Amino acid sequence: MTRAINFSAGPALLPEEVLRQAADEMLDWHGSGMGVMEMSHRGKEFIKIHAEAEADLRELMAIPANYKVLFLQGGAIAENAIVPMNMLRGHGVADYINTGEWSKKSIKEAGKYCKVNVAASSEDRAFTYIPPRDSWKLTTDAAYVHICSNETIGGLEYHWVPDTGSVPLVADMSSHIMSRPVDVARYGLIYAGAQKNIGPAGLTLVIVRDDLIGKALPITPSAFDYKQQAESDSMLNTPPTYAIYIAGLVFKWLKKQGGLAQIERHNIAKAALLYDYLDQSAFFSSPVDKADRSRMNVPFKLKDESLDGAFLKGAEERGMVQLKGHRAVGGMRASIYNAMPIEGVRQLVQYMKEFEARRA
């Protein structure tokens, strides 16, 4: 068996240890005589898996006690609707910061439920920077301020937490959650689809301050009402049990790596390897402003676009897959999530050097 060096933006690679353990436990979880997929979500075995996953997540992210952790379904795109349904709380307007493709989707969807004020945007420069906080035109009585804290497609990341005063900050953290420590108390709500840094698609994580829930719009489906889900331990409907189990294994793996501060050091080193090379190269370049570059998703361009195909083909021959950039941006994109070992990034940079030497 040969494992690919997988730069997919999502669903993305998982730690090999986690996959091996899941394989070992596939037919019989801890002597229960059942695989996790086959268990009742209300049985003692799964209750334990669920509780441990939540406890480990709370420990890793240092989630304060007044925050609820929900394991839901629907992905971050469903949250684009579920967030306003739950978070408007009688307000008529929500502020959104537009930093790229994922922000645009959030803005469009929220517009079905409320008035959306786009308080700042970096569309003027093709989403290559995060608008500085002092340029934001926030509404005083907004229900919340929404950001996409890591734009997976454009490769932008907030390396600071915006101050929004008493207005709750809501963040789509899908593609960098658990890649670094975050001060959860600075946010009213954090959401993330699991398939980038946490586990299989199908699981959506919501972390929400408890005073903000309980005022969902009457039309809100019960399965998407944070309050109802919080009261039933995310088991109002059958939760995505297998995805929660894998996420739980990933959390244990993260603890073994030394937690989020340690994983952040590792991620800084990986990203630096790639960006340092891009910055000194005359052939490859990064389109994103230095201060706002993502450590997780690194878009880059070849000086001569007509060589894109040859670059991708050569990469595949070396076992490096999913490097093609999103069609909205073009060029290449290397997603280097938590589970990507630094050796994978080294091999990519080595290949880029060789390609540049041959083709530039």
Ligand X SMILES: *Cc1c(COP(=O)(O)O)cnc(C)c1O
Question: Going residue by residue from 95 to 114, which x/- string records binding to ligand X, judged by CB under 6 A?
Answer: -------x------------
In the bound state with ligand X, the residue whose beta carbon lies nearer, of 39 and 76, is 76
Can 233 be counted among the known catalytic residues?
Answer: no
Residue 131 sits in the site that holds ligand X (CB under 6 A): no
Query: Which has the closest alpha carbon to 241: 100, 91, 47, 75?
Result: 47
Catalytic residue selected from 196, 227, 252, 270: 196
Catalytic residue selected from 56, 68, 102, 225: 102
Query: Which has the closest alpha carbon to 248: 5, 30, 79?
Result: 30
Task: Select from 19, 77, 118, 223 the one that contacts ligand X (CB under 6 A).
Answer: 77
Torsion angle of C-alpha atoms 194, 184, 102, 266, degrees rounded to 10 = -70
Segment contacting ligand X by CB under 6 A, of 172-180, 216-224, 236-244, 280-288: 172-180
Q: How far is the CB of 144 from ligand X (least distance, A)?
A: 17
Segment contacting ligand X by CB under 6 A, of 127-135, 171-179, 205-213, 215-223: 171-179
Phi, psi of 171 (to 5 degrees): -130, 130
Segment contacting ligand X by CB under 6 A, of 30-38, 41-49, 167-175, 207-215: 167-175
- CB-neighbour burial class of residue 20 (10 A; exposed 0-12, middle 13-18, buried 19+): exposed
Write out the two tokens for 84.
């306003």
Q: How far is the CB of 177 from ligand X (least distance, A)?
A: 10
Segment contacting ligand X by CB under 6 A, of 18-26, 33-41, 72-80, 206-214: 72-80
Using CA atoms, how far residue 236 sits from 83, 151, 265, 282, in Å, is 18, 31, 38, 55
Task: Select from 5, 53, 72, 76 the one that contacts ligand X (CB under 6 A).
Answer: 76
Catalytic residue selected from 172, 227, 253, 270: 172
Can 102 be counted among the known catalytic residues?
Answer: yes
In the bound state with ligand X, the residue whose beta carbon lies nearer, of 220 and 294, is 294
Residue 240 sits in the site that holds ligand X (CB under 6 A): no
**Are the C-beta atoms of residues 56 and 251 closer than 8 Å to each other?**
yes
In the bound state with ligand X, the residue whose beta carbon lies nearer, of 18 and 72, is 72
Measure CA 166 to chain center. 25
Pairing of the two strands 169-172 and 145-148? parallel
> What is the spatial distance between Cα 81 and Cα 112, in angstroms, rounded to a whole number?
8
Task: Select from 98, 121, 122, 152 the one that contacts ligand X (CB under 6 A).
Answer: 152
Residue 148 sits in the site that holds ligand X (CB under 6 A): yes
Q: Please name the residues in contact with 194: beta carbons below 8 A apart, sequence gap of 6 or more.
A: 200, 201, 202, 203, 204, 205, 243, 247
Measure CA 216 to chain center. 25
Residue 175 sits in the site that holds ligand X (CB under 6 A): yes
Can 44 be counted among the known catalytic residues?
Answer: no
Q: Please count the residues of this chain forming the interface with ligand X, following the rule CB under 6 A.
A: 13
In the bound state with ligand X, the residue whose beta carbon lies nearer, of 102 and 351, is 102
Q: How far is the CB of 240 from ligand X (least distance, A)?
A: 12
**Are the C-beta atoms of residues 114 and 121 closer than 8 Å to each other?**
no
The neighbour count for residue 132, using CB atoms within 10 Å, is: 12
In the bound state with ligand X, the residue whose beta carbon lies nearer, of 201 and 307, is 201
Task: Select from 15, 75, 84, 154 the one that contacts ligand X (CB under 6 A).
Answer: 75
> What is the spatial distance between Cα 191 and Cα 205, in angstroms, rounded to a whole number?
5
Q: What is the DSSP string of 278-347?
A: HHH-SSEE--S-GGGB-SSEEEEEESSGGGHHHHHHHHHHTTEE--BPPTTT-SEEEE--TTS-HHHHHH
For ligand X, the binding residues (CB under 6 A) are 10, 75-77, 102, 148, 152, 172, 174-175, 193, 196, 201
Among all residues, which ones are annotated catalytic?
102, 172, 196
